[in-house]
Copies of this chain bind each other. A is one copy, B any other.
Amino acid sequence: MKPVAPQCNILSVLPTESKRALCERCEVNGLSFCGAFGKAHSDRLQEITTQARLGAKQTLFMEGDPAEYIFTLAAGMMEISRHKPSGRRQIIGFLGAADFLGLAHAGCYAYTATAISDVALCRFRRRSFEALMNEFPELEHGLFKAVSNELVESQNQSLMLGQKKAEERVASFLLWQLRKSGGDHAESIDLPMTRGQIADYLGITIETASRTFTALKEREFIGLTGSHKVNICNRDGLEMLAEG
């Protein structure tokens, strides 16, 4: 895996006047921590909000950068990854609409964040956000909840990597994506990430990931329309597989 291209922070910041309109239309209102709070104190939050966009494959920030901003992902998908001194890298999560982004450890970002598809973000200067949190404790509650959820997710991930077999991992991953994207009733999912990224996240090789997709297709658990479009044919079956 080559080093990440140094094209960080390429943000095309949108004109100020459109901010409110964008935020009110924002698909994630009511879901992310800013949504609930924004209803009550919309104007105060907007004062410190910057809308931003980022193209696919661009890096928003790198692990270890000073953590000046925090973000909410409004649309699109991003990956977050961490590096080992040895140079090895692992994707530790995929983020979708309404997810929080920008956890800091000792003042620096704890992971690298890269766009998988084109994305839209709300950006908050950390200092301003902290000031607002001091003023409105419910905002801090919201952020706290977001981090708690992230922690539970991460522990799920540990569970998975700790004991599941390749097939169980892929099945879990597909169901997780299904839940995240289309509510519970959708039957097809779009996977903007590559097989390589999925494999990395699941702790298996590209080849094993690919073989497993093929096997699931052959056994008619899923259908594949190109490699980024998956139809769930036998959801209950997948749930069985995922449990192990």
Contacts and interface: CB of A to CB of B under 8 A. Distances in A.
Given A137-B137, A157-B158, A158-B161, A148 B103 contact: yes
Contacts of A163: 88, 90, 203
Contacts of A24: none
A162 to B, nearest CB: 4
Contacts of A244: 84, 86, 88
Contacts of A151: 103, 110, 147, 150-151, 154
A140 B86 CA distance: 36
Contacts of A137: 133-134, 137, 140
A147 B147 contact: yes
A222 to B, nearest CB: 21
Interface of A: 82, 84-86, 88, 90, 92, 103-105, 110-111, 133-134, 137, 140-141, 143-144, 147-152, 154-155, 157-159, 161-163, 200-203, 243-244
Contacts of A203: 161-163
A138 B243 CA distance: 41
Report, nearest first, the 10 A-B pairs whose CB atoms are least far apart: A161-B161, A162-B203, A154-B154, A151-B151, A86-B243, A157-B158, A90-B162, A92-B155, A90-B159, A161-B162
